[in-house]
Structure 1
């Protein structure tokens, strides 16, 4: 779930980083519109970059599902990826598996009968996720990623603002 990013210290870290970045770009460019455009572009790229980053903070846990169950990963975990493997361990997308099993199992993937048929043909579903106990580790890691450059830029902006003009 995405609640890893919307609670805890992350909203405050994002707000502070965006504010300091806006202040720094305003002090460096001394023009409102270019400073706003750069701030928006950097915040958007940081946001989309950090969406993929939690997969690199820690090795995700892996659950191999060999029988029909509701959800292989806990409700309060951060989903990383899911895929299918065959008996030899080769990865399959859901589409590849559907094509391979269209004859014996049909095409209605939403039924438990289809899942049982998939498992009986040697396919296994793999889910990778980060458990909820990594919440604070991820919060402090992302806060550091956001705030260390922001505070450096803030220091640069203060220095530029306080520099005597000639």
Structure 2
């Protein structure tokens, strides 16, 4: 059964592992030079990277983020739906192999290959990007490069991509079992996986490890401040290198959450257009004089591996739950 499953699966696996090998080879060529540059430049490395380095950096992110989605669509969704759609499941389940064992073999081999492909891609990208990650965590400019805890970079580092791949694969299998048609199952897998990838960083990941808080004074020359929602919301950018800011709120003089007073918007209003830098600083000084401060909640850089292992456990748990669902569902199919 294992040999038959591998023969049916080897083409998809060969394509994926060839793409991962090509990525690893590309990174291996430029990786040592990047490490040497970091040893010489330290946290200023991000200011000395070339456009080609930046392109490779973003390409690595895209590839690792895409691998689980591709696996779910092209490995998971057709695995059973193709059999059900063409009717070949009747033959497969009447060859002396129970449908439960048939499914378990396919799920086990597919999940192992999915985690291996995603793990190798993540390992290569994490190795190549490690000098940039260390530079950013050390206080290097972050306008172009993401801290490791940033939601975009986090999903392309460490062990989390392996869990994402396992979940995406089993998700595709489950949706294929329910929908029973290959193309709709592939499309639904992509939509559901994308929805989960948006939901987890926004509402779940921030609570998987203890956060830190800091209170930033609102004053000219302090932490960079930007204004949003027509001067109704203040956003500060405190000096917490490598951290992931999960939320922030404005506090009044009593230390209680409060909206920005309307007087601040009136102060910034000019008939000639946007306020000048001098006017902006004066309005900030007036707001600070009223006792307003900004409270920032963030995940510190040191929580990277805590969050990695916690999210890995979360996605593997979801994959196991979907595996149980698949086992139950396939037994009731007629």
Structure 1-normalised TM-score?
A: 0.76
Q: Which residue of 1 aligns with 2:252?
A: 86
Residue 64 (structure 1) aligns with? 215
Aligned residue number for residue 144 of structure 1? 313
Q: Is the 8 A contact 2:208 2:311 kept in 1?
A: no
Match of 2:322 among 142, 153, 159: 153
Partner of 1:46: 196
Bigger Rg, which one: 2
Deviation at 1:48, TM superposition (A): 2.2
Aligned length: 160
Higher relative contact order (CA 8 A, sep 6+): 1
> Following the alignment from structure 1 to structure 2, what is the Cα–Cα distance between the partners of residues 6 and 117?
43
Of 85, 93, 100, the match for 2:263 = 100
More helix by share: 2
Superimposed CA distance per residue, residues 82-127 of structure 1 (whole angstroms, 9 cap, x where no aligned partner): 221111123234xx24x23346x54549644443332222111111
Residue range with higher mean Cα deviation, 79-88 or 145-154: 145-154
Q: Is contact 1:22–1:35 with CA below 8 Å preserved after alignment?
A: yes
1:149 match: secondary structure: helix
Q: Is the 8 A contact 1:84 1:123 kept in 2?
A: yes
**Measured at CA, do residues 100 and 54 of structure 1 come closer, stay the same or move farther in structure 2, by a change above 3 Å?**
farther
How much has 1:55 moved relative to structure 2? 2.5
Structure 2 residue aligned with 1:14: 164
Contact 1:63 1:73 in 2 (8 A): no
Which structure 1 segments of 5+ residues have no match? none
For each residue in 1:48-85, what CA deviation from the matched residue of structure 2 results, as whole angstroms up to 9, or x when unmatched?
Answer: 22022122223421111125234424121111112211
Are the counterparts in 1 of residues 223 and 239 from structure 2 also a CA contact under 8 Å? no
Aligned residue for 1:92, secondary structure, equals coil
Unaligned runs of 5+ in 2: 1-149, 225-236, 270-274
